[in-house]
Amino acid sequence: MARRAGPAAPVRCSARYDACGGVSVYLHDFSVNTSSSGLRSRPPGRWRPLWGIIAASAVTAGCQTSVRPPVIEDRSAALTIRQGPAAADFQTGEAADNDAVIVFDLEREREAAYFDLWTRLRDNLALQPPEQEARVDYWVQFFASRPKHLKDSAENARPFLHHILEELNRRDMPADLALLPLVESSFDPFAGGGEKASGLWQFMPVTGQRFGLGYEPGYQARRDIVRSTDAALNYLAWLNKRYDSWLLALAAYNAGEGRVDRALADNRGRGLPTDFWSLKLPQQTVDYVPKLLALGRLVEAPDRFGIHWPRIPNQPAFHAVEFPANTRLSLAANLLNVPEKDLGWLNPALERGATPHDRSATVLVPATKAEEMLGRLPELQALALANPLPPPVLVRTTAVKPARSPRSYTIKQGDTLWSLSRRFGVTVTQLRQWNRLPPGKPLRIGQSLTVTPPPRTITYRVRTGDSLWAIARRHGVRVSQLKTWNDVSSSRPIQPGQTLKIHLESI
C-alpha cells in the first residue's frame, strides 16, 4: 500500500469585494492527494471547516462604499490576503482592481479548524479495509459491545492524543495510527514493563534499544510519552518504506519484520498474493490489524454503533519543562496545586516519581500550568535541595509463591471461555493466546486447553519517597489492591523499610 503523497501546495483563491465591502471567495485550484492502495479519498464535505476561516479572515463589517477593505497579511496563520493589481480574476486569470488573492496552507488551516480531536481524527482517517472483511466486522462488534472499555481508553488518551495527531500530521502519516495505543495499551502509559512490552506503544526492550529507548537508571524511556511516540512513528515509517504498505507495516510492528518477511516469501514461492489479508501470520497479528481498522470504523461512525467518544479539545494538553536533578513530582504538584497522579500520568518514565538522581530531566506539565511552572523553577529547585531523595538502591524482590507450570484442562459440557477464565483466575484473551483460538471459534467437548495459573506473589521493601500510587503503577496493580493485600489505610500509611506483598499476574 503506497503512502499518501506529501502535503498539498498552498491553495490559491480569489476574493471579490462588492460595493458594500462584502466578499465572495473563489477557489482557483483544489486538489486532494490520495492513494489508490487502501487509503480513503476525502470527500469534499470534509473540507468544510476551511470556509469558516476564509470568511472570518475576509469579511468586513458594514457598508463602506468609499473605502477599500485593508490588506490583511497574517503570516503566523499561513494566510495572506492581497488586493489590487496583483489579484487574478477567477474567470480570466487577469488582474482585477477589486479582487484579492488569498493564499493559505491548506493542511495547517484545516487542522486548526477543528475543536474536537475525535472529529479531527474522523476527518483524516486514511486506511481502508476491503469491503465486507469478516475479521474487521468481528472486531467492530467486539469493541462496540464494550463501550466502557472504549470510554476509559479515550479518557486515558486525553493528555496524549493531540501530540500524537500533531506528529502524524507533521510526518504525513495516516491519522489512523493515533488509535494504535488503544490497541496496544488502552492508552495506559504504565502498561507492561520489565522484560515485557512497555508504555503507550508497547516497545519490547530490544526494539526500544534499537530506536533510542534504552534503559537508564531511574528512567524508563519506553514509557516516555514524547520519546516513545517519536520512536514508534519512526519505526512505523521505516516499516512502511520497507513494505510499501501500511497494513504490512502494522503487521511487522506487531510480529516483527522477520515473521512478515517469511510469510511474504512463502506466498511468493507459491504464487499467492502478498497483501496482508493473504498472508499466514500468527493469530495475534491476524487480529491486530483488523482491531485498528475496526476502531477507525467506530471513530468514523460512532452513532451507528452507539459509541460516544468524550470530547477532547484540539489543543496541546502538556508542555515540556526542564526540572532539576532529584526533584520529586510531588513538590511540583504542590506548587502548582495539581494532583500528583496527574503529573505522574504525564511522566510515567520517572521510576521514583522524581527526576534522575544525577541529572536534570524534561518533565511534562499540564499546558495550563506550564507558564506558572517556568516562573517558579527557582522555588522548585530550592524545595528539591531542601527535600532530597536518597540515591536509588536496587532492591531484590523475593518470590514467595513462584509461578506454576502450565496445566492441561479438558473441556466439559457447559464450559465457555468466560466461565473458564473465572474458574482459573485468568482472562479470556490469555486463554485464546495460550491455545491459539481464533475469535468466534466454539469450544468442543473433550478438547484440551492449556492454562497457566496465576498469580505469583512478590515482596517489595518501601523506600524513602515511595507512594502507594507510584508502587502500584510500577507493578501494574491498583492502589486499592495494595491497601487490601497489606492492611494499609489513611490511618496506617506505608513507612520506609516496610515490606509489602504484591500479587503479580502471571502471563
Residue with the bigger pLDDT between 399 and 478: it is: 478
How sure is the predictor about 396, in pLDDT bands with cuts at 50, 70 and 90?
very low
Cα–Cα separations (whole angstroms), residue 68 to 95, 102, 142, 229, 269 = 16, 16, 60, 49, 71
Are 95 and 239 contained in the same domain?
no
Are 192 and 300 contained in the same domain?
yes
Tell me, rounded to whole angstroms, the distance of Cα 13 from its chain centroid.
36
Residue 406 lies in a domain: no
Q: Percentage of the chain surpassing pLDDT 70?
A: 71
What is the spatial distance between Cα 375 and Cα 178, in angstroms, rounded to a whole number? 33
Residue 402 lies in a domain: no
Are 249 and 351 contained in the same domain?
no
What digits encode the pLDDT tens for the residues 1-35?
433 444 444 444 444 444 444 444 444 443 333 34
Q: What is the mean pLDDT of the segment spanning 422-440?
A: 77
Residue with the bigger pLDDT between 176 and 98: it is: 176
Q: What is the mean pLDDT of the segment spanning 246-268?
A: 95
Residue 405 lies in a domain: no
Are 235 and 154 contained in the same domain?
yes
Q: Strand, helix or coil at 138?
A: helix
Of 274, 305, 336, the domain-final residue: 305
Residue 286 lies in a domain: yes
Q: What is the mean pLDDT of the segment spanning 62-77?
A: 36
How sure is the predictor about 110, in pLDDT bands with cuts at 50, 70 and 90?
low
Are 215 and 323 contained in the same domain?
no
Q: What is the mean pLDDT of the segment spanning 451-474?
A: 73
Which of the residue ranges 46-55, 85-94, 116-125, 426-435 has the most confident prediction, judged by mean pLDDT?
A: 116-125
What is the spatial distance between Cα 3 and Cα 237, in angstroms, rounded to a whole number? 9
What does 180-235 look like in DSSP terms, one character per residue? HHHHHHTT-TTSB-TTS-BTTTTB-HHHHHHTT--EETTEEGGG-HHHHHHHHHHH
Are 170 and 300 contained in the same domain?
yes
Q: Which domain holds residue 372?
A: 318-386
Are 336 and 299 contained in the same domain?
no
Are 460 and 444 contained in the same domain?
no
Are 168 and 254 contained in the same domain?
yes
Residue 391 lies in a domain: no
How sure is the predictor about 130, in pLDDT bands with cuts at 50, 70 and 90?
confident
Are 329 and 299 contained in the same domain?
no
pLDDT for residue 152: 93
- What CATH number does residue 252 fall under? 1.10.530.10
- What CATH number does residue 491 fall under? 3.10.350.10
Catalytic residue, candidates 109, 111, 184, 351 = 184
Residue type, 95: A
Residue 1 lies in a domain: no
Are 335 and 279 contained in the same domain?
no
CA atoms within 13 A on the CB side of 306: 8
Residue with cell 520489565: 194
Residue type, 264: L
Of 386, 403, 430, the domain-final residue: 386
Q: Does the annotation mark 184 as catalytic?
A: yes
Counting the structural domains of the chain, the total is 5
Of 63, 78, 112, the domain-final residue: 112
What is the spatial distance between Cα 196 and Cα 228, in angstroms, rounded to a whole number? 15
What digits encode the pLDDT tens for the residues 491-507?
677 888 888 888 765 33
How sure is the predictor about 422, in pLDDT bands with cuts at 50, 70 and 90?
low
- Residues paired with residue 460 on neighbouring β-strands, in sequence order: 500
Are 440 and 426 contained in the same domain?
yes
Residue 276 lies in a domain: yes
